[in-house]
């Protein structure tokens, strides 16, 4: 999956209300035998991190395509939604150096 091919939610403010520590939300579902995805990027994050958040979304969609829907949901611990879809939240973390 390429970043350019992602379906990105244009108005993502509601998804991230009171969740300023999260960078992205990825939603996935199956309807009529077809897989669908939607990505939302937190509009409040540093603009320099936006591309990384989109890259994470594309990477997770690629995992679904590589491993299959059910296996990817299990492997990456997606959360089942009340509407029958699945969601996964992404957050950038600065790890300490090994020095």
* Residues 6 or more apart in contact with residue 39 via CB below 8 angstroms: 6, 7, 8, 9, 24, 25, 26, 27, 54, 57
**pLDDT tens across 32-43, in order?**
988 899 999 999
pTM strictly above 0.85: no
Q: What's the total number of domains in the chain?
A: 1
Instruction: Evaluate whether residue 95 is within a structural domain.
Output: no
Burial class, 89, CB count within 10 angstroms (exposed 0-12 / middle 13-18 / buried 19+): middle
DSSP H or E stretch at residue 71: helix 69-75
- Tell whether 8 is covered by a domain: yes
Any domain includes 80:
yes
pLDDT digits (tens, 9 = 90+) for 52-65: 899 999 999 999 99
Answer whether 79's CB lies under 8 Å from 73's CB: no
């Amino acid at each position: 999956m390429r970043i350019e091919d992602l379906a990105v939610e244009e108005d993502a403010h509601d998804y991230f209300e009171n969740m300023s520590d999260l960078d992205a939300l990825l939603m996935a579902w199956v309807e009529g035998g077809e897989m669908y995805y939607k990505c939302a990027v937190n509009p409040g994050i540093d603009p320099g991190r936006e591309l990384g958040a989109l890259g994470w979304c594309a990477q997770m969609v690629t995992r679904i395509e590589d491993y299959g829907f059910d296996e990817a949901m299990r492997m990456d611990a997606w959360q089942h939604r009340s509407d029958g879809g699945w969601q996964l939240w992404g957050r950038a973390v600065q790890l300490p150096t090994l020095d």
